[in-house]
Structure 1
Amino acid sequence: MILAATVAYEGSSFAGFQLQKDVPTVQSHLEEALRVLYKSRCIIHCAGRTDAGVHATGQVISFEVPEIRPRLLPSLNALTPDELTVLDVRPAPEGFHPRFSCIARQYEYLISSSPGWNPFLRGRVWHRTSAPPAREFQDMLPVLQGEQDFGAFTRPQYLEAGTRRYLDLVELDEKVDLLSGESLLSFRVRGNAFLHNMIRIMVGTLMMLAEDWPADERADRL
């Protein structure tokens, strides 16, 4: 029986989603919890492997089990760290796979430009003492939309795996964080898939161009 689940996690505590030797990952904690419950290994599949430090509010996973145990959801949450929560679990539709059945994936990257450090934003934002206003980025965003080669936004060792991706949403605006009350820059991107470190490198590139290049040259440099 294939089960699908939605999980959320605070990524600062994990070395990414995927299994790695001798370091805590989201997958390792979930598979260990399932091993305790089912006395055998249950392999986790996910919609998208997040990098170290990346948080998730709606990561979709699947795994195969012989049966649905009573109180499976609270049992899983009792066996995983507080930074990782299984939000729901249910039988998956026939042929479901979280990676290949996924229609789109969306990321949000938050930037703080407060002169002081707000402890409520720790681990959630890129903190800078100053940043350009959202309007300074707008002419560059359309350049990133559509299907194209995003090889410039990943590390060289990942280029051989293929670097063409499709982005149908690229937005950057200002929002107020409800917990801290601070105004943040919010960069949102949605696409069919992402490269390793793609969003972090993309945000850093946009910030560098907005700060250091004339407005009429930024889109061409990107």
Structure 2
Amino acid sequence: MKVRIELIYKTPKGMKTSFNSEMIDAEDAILISEDLEKTGRVKSIKFVDHREGTWSVKELKEFLKGIQTEPHDIIVYFDGGFDLETKHSGLGCSIYYKQNGKSYRLRKNSLIEELHTNNEAEYAALYLAIDELEQLGVHHLPVQFNGDSQVVINQMREEWACFEDALRSWADRIENKMKKLGIEPEYLLVSRKENKEADKLATQALQGIEIISTTEK
């Protein structure tokens, strides 16, 4: 979870001004706020999340304590590939998350036969990732989804219209799954280089190499 710090600073002579930080990890924001409060010149301080919700230090600490045993701070990479010759699709996703004070990476791929285009494979890879989040028990949390498909990312952001029935069907399935889990998605378009891990998983699926693993980072 990321928040920004908003504070009012008061000088020894009584002058006041306000400061806003950039969005940073909530744990880091608490440490910084506690360090600032040691100066004795902070008149008020609060934290603001991505939905513009406000938190006190106590509230944010209690929230972070409550989610420690569940997966959180989740970043997902997904990619899909389609083989025109075999009509097979390779799906891949890697999920980075924290739980019980440790960091993990889950990798998963899948080979399926019922799709017809590369764009469908990209959507199916996103759905695969969400299905894995459900298996992890992720719910009612913000999740960052990174992909290199302009079609999927821009359509899920509702920046591009979705005219194809097959793609619209996938988008509806994904949105319904998100609502069911209470996931608040943030979609980021990344380069193929940044998405190379998910791309490799999709390629391995097309090669008949099945990958499913969770490792501590």
TM bucket (normalised to shorter chain) is: under 0.3
TM-score with structure 2 length normalisation? 0.24
Structure with higher RCO (Cα < 8 A, 6+ apart): 2
Greater fraction strand: 2
Task: Pick the structure with greater CA Rg.
Answer: 2
TM-score with structure 1 length normalisation? 0.24
